[in-house]
Amino acid sequence: MKILVAVKRVADYNVKVRAKSDNTGPDLANVKMAINPFCEIAVEEAVRMKENGIASEIIAVSVGPQSAQEQVRTALALGADRGILVQTDTDLEPLAIAKCFKAICDNEKPDMVLLGKQAIDGDNNQTGQMIAALTGWSQATFASEITIDGDAVTVIREVDAGLQTVKLKLPAVITADLRLNEPRYASLPNIMKAKKKTIDNTTPEELGVDTSPRVTLLKAAPPAERQAGVKVEDVAELIDKLKNEAKVIS
Ligand code: AMP
């Protein structure tokens, strides 16, 4: 089984990202970048499938600037076999990214596309669903367990009310939720080995993808500053403040 796994370059989740002073977007100058955490989980799942003899080849795919090679390289160090970088300096919308994946699916004919459930920068939660729509393949989002049985795959999905189990036919698009697995760290020998693995470069234009935007970002603003707390002397004062200042009880 051949697996395409998506790796997006995003600001490291430990970084507190600020908005640009003119509110036109996040200020990413000199910010530490990393693989989107949900993509790390997708890579880990693909690598476990290879270790269990289910997957034969894992291709890590990123759509982004030349520097996104770093994240593809990290996926190679974690166990992917080769990489594809769809190079663009434009911050593409999920539809354009999904079209790039669709074109790669046409070329590579994978049995499964594994993605994160969302990218922690745009919080769109759209790309996997759009790839499924464009390819016509089955989809399971928010996966917390994946079991392969021949050309069928059973996925346990995390939904608001609990867990939902679905059975899909391959090829399928699956997006990883937080509890699917705990990703490993890349070992030094594997980081060295990854340097020899191939990363093919292409562009949305070469893939025949129309990247024209459909959405205009009007404003990016930081959340409101949290006000300092106050200490109360006793329960009576607390109740008084909840009633008369916060007005959350009557
Ligand atoms: P989103 O729909 O933007 O929340 O992203 C959902 C998932 O799609 C992410 O967790 C990634 O696995 C994948 N994805 C989104 N954008 C990219 C990108 N530029 N390159 C590679 N994978 C991406």
Tens of pLDDT along 2-14?
999 999 999 999 9
- Class at the top of the CATH hierarchy for domain 2-221: alpha beta
CA of 228 to the centre of ligand 1 (A): 36
Q: pTM for the complete prediction?
A: 0.92
Q: Using one digit for the tens of pLDDT, what is the confidence trace for 95-108?
A: 999 999 999 999 99
Pairing of strands 18-19, 152-159: unpaired
Q: Over 90: is that where the pLDDT of 207 sits?
A: yes
Specify the residue with its C-alpha closest to ligand 1, atom 14. 8
CA of 26 to the centre of ligand 1 (A): 17
Shortest-distance atom of ligand 1 to CA 122? 3
Specify the residue with its C-alpha closest to ligand 1, atom 23. 8
The whole-number pLDDT of residue 103 equals: 98
H-only helix segments in the chain: 37-51, 69-78, 94-108, 127-135, 188-194, 235-244
Residue 244: CB partners within 8 Å, gap ≥ 6?
A: none
The whole-number pLDDT of residue 222 equals: 84
Please give the distance of CA 134 from its chain centroid, rounded to a whole number. 18
CA of 175 to the centre of ligand 1 (A): 10
- 163: which 2 tokens? 């867990």
CA of 206 to the centre of ligand 1 (A): 20
End-to-end, the C-alpha distance of the chain in Å comes to 62
- 103: which 2 tokens? 């074109």
Pairing of strands 82-87, 57-64: parallel
Ligand 1 binding pocket, CB closer than 6 Å = 6-8, 36, 38-39, 42, 62-64, 94, 97, 115-116, 118-119, 122, 124-128
CA of 100 to the centre of ligand 1 (A): 11
Q: What is the DSSP letter of 213?
A: -
CA of 122 to the centre of ligand 1 (A): 9
Around 46, how many Cα atoms within 13 Å sit in the side-chain half-sphere?
A: 37
The whole-number pLDDT of residue 110 equals: 98
Site to substitute for ligand 1 among 7, 33, 36, 141, most atoms within 8 A of C-beta: 36
Average pLDDT over residues 141-168: 96
Domain ranges of the chain: 2-221
Q: Over 90: is that where the pLDDT of 171 sits?
A: yes
Q: Using one digit for the tens of pLDDT, what is the confidence trace for 209-246?
A: 999 999 998 998 888 888 888 899 999 999 999 999 98
